[in-house]
């Protein structure tokens, strides 16, 4: 294996048994493989949790050596337009499946990026090739997929992976790559992953370029993430009424880690639940975090929004 190989590819599950977590889903997918048939499938869920991995594992198990001829992965939101997507489907579907397979699989990623009109066109294409192809449609939000497509598919909702699942996946890789992950190193990787295995594996791979002993220090440094404790301390200062000190901490974080506004808001959001606040205060602050988060997506000034947020911690801290 090449040194610079991307681990998310190198460790992509080859079978459904190698998929971590999603026990109920995997069980049902296995029963399709066993029966040798497949309905159209709709996989919805956050990024990096195994939707593509499950699809490829299904193809490998169903088709064996001929899987690559009988499986294609297309990005539904191909920037050249839905017609290009439909043409690619047509070209792929035109030839008969290889080997003993009675159908081919078309994996369509990012289907929720399509407009309703494009989805309607896609639906007609699906119908046209139903005899020879099965579609696996992947999206982040199934609510963005038009009803006529949903009703033609068996829908599977993939959740974020649990801490235990992320740990299992990472331990497996660490063993293969001769890495030692310390307890706090694992906690850091889990914190950074937010239930996304791709993110966890990428963090592990970049940490491994620095040291084969993966500590939390290595992880936070290589991924430019503030330690949760540092965020906690900044929030506590603000809650204690020391607004200017909290603001100085914010400066440190921005300079040390080069964090973006949305990174910090995301970490503030997670830290706020760890502060043991009264529920009323918590509710008020989460409401403010939502507001700041929204404003950032609308292009508001990052620095001012985060400071305004810290100001609310001071105001609510005092009223506690």
Ligand X SMILES: Nc1ncnc2c1ncn2[C@@H]1O[C@H](COP(=O)(O)OP(=O)(O)OP(=O)(O)O)[C@@H](O)[C@H]1O
Q: How many residues are listed for the chain in this entry?
A: 320
> Dihedral of CA 248/250/252/258: which sign?
negative
13 is in an annotated binding site: no
Candidates 40, 51, 104, 295; binder of ligand X (CB under 6 A) is 51
Stretch 14-43 residues interacting with ligand X (CB under 6 A):
19-22
64 is in an annotated binding site: no
Candidates 38, 50, 70, 234; binder of ligand X (CB under 6 A) is 50
String of DSSP letters for 39-102? -EEEEE--TTSSHHHHHHHHHHHHHGGGHHHHEEEEETT-TT-HHHHHHHHHHHHHSPPPTT-S
Strand 133-139's sheet: what is its strand order?
A: 71-75, 104-109, 133-139, 40-44, 153-157
3-state helix, strand, coil in the chain (%, to 5): 60, 10, 30
Candidates 61, 78, 109, 302; binder of ligand X (CB under 6 A) is 109
Segment holding 18, helix H or strand E:
none
Q: Phi and psi of 74, rounded to 5°?
A: -125, 145
**Smallest separation (angstroms) from ligand X to the CB of 30:** 14
**Smallest separation (angstroms) from ligand X to the CB of 297:** 20
Do residues 180 and 174 lie in contact, with contact meaning Cβ atoms separated by under 8 Å?
A: yes
Candidates 16, 41, 42, 53; binder of ligand X (CB under 6 A) is 53
First vs last C-alpha separation in the chain = 58
Nearer to ligand X, 16 or 239 (CB): 16
Residue with tokens 């309905």: 39
**Smallest separation (angstroms) from ligand X to the CB of 8:** 4
CA–CA gap between residue 213 and residue 231 (Å, rounded): 25
**Smallest separation (angstroms) from ligand X to the CB of 18:** 7
Q: Does 97 bind ligand X (CB under 6 A)?
A: no
Candidates 38, 42, 49, 76; binder of ligand X (CB under 6 A) is 49
Binding mask 189-228 for ligand X (x = CB under 6 A): --------xx--x---------------------------
Candidates 25, 44, 52, 126; binder of ligand X (CB under 6 A) is 52
The count of residues interacting with ligand X (CB under 6 A) is 22
Candidates 11, 135, 156, 257; binder of ligand X (CB under 6 A) is 11
CA–CA gap between residue 319 and residue 163 (Å, rounded): 35
How many angstroms separate the Cα of 271 from the Cα of each of 19, 148, 203, 232, 241? 30, 41, 20, 6, 18
Nearer to ligand X, 52 or 215 (CB): 52
Nearer to ligand X, 72 or 272 (CB): 72
Stretch 222-281 residues interacting with ligand X (CB under 6 A):
none
Instruction: Provide Rg for the chain, Cα atoms.
Output: 23
Q: Does 169 bind ligand X (CB under 6 A)?
A: yes
Annotated binding site for ATP, which residues?
45-52
The footprint of ligand X (CB under 6 A) covers 8, 11-13, 19-22, 47-53, 109, 138, 161, 169, 197-198, 201
């Amino acid at each position: 294996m090449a040194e610079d190989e991307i681990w998310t590819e190198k460790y992509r599950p080859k079978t459904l048994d190698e998929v971590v977590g999603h026990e109920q889903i995997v069980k049902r997918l296995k029963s399709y493989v066993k029966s040798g048939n497949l309905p159209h499938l709709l996989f919805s869920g956050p990024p990096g949790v195994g939707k593509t991995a499950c699809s490829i594992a299904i193809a490998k198990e169903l088709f064996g050596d001929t899987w690559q001829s009988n499986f294609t992965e297309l990005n539904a939101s191909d920037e050249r337009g839905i017609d290009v997507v439909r043409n690619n489907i047509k070209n792929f579907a035109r030839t008969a499946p290889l080997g003993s397979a009675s159908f081919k699989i078309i994996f369509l990623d990012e289907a929720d990026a399509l407009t309703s009109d494009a989805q309607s066109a896609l639906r007609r294409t699906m119908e046209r090739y139903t005899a020879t192809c099965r579609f696996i449609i992947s999206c982040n939000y199934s609510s963005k997929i038009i009803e006529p497509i949903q009703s033609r598919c068996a829908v599977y909702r993939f959740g974020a992976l649990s801490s235990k699942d992320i740990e299992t996946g990472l331990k497996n890789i660490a063993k293969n790559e001769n890495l030692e992950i310390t307890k706090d190193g694992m906690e850091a990787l889990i914190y950074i992953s937010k239930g996304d295995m791709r993110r966890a594996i990428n963090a592990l791979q970049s940490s491994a370029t620095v040291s084969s002993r993966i500590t939390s220090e290595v992880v936070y440094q290589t991924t430019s993430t503030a330690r949760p404790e540092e965020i906690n301390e900044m929030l506590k200062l603000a809650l204690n009424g020391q607004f200017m000190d909290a603001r100085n901490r914010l400066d440190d974080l921005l300079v040390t880690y080069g964090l973006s506004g949305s990174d910090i808001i995301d970490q503030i959001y997670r830290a706020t639940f760890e502060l043991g606040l009264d529920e009323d205060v918590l509710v008020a602050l989460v409401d403010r975090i939502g507001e700041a988060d929204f404003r950032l997506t609308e292009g508001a000034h990052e620095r001012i929004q985060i400071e305004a947020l810290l100001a609310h911690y001071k105001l609510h801290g005092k009223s506690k």
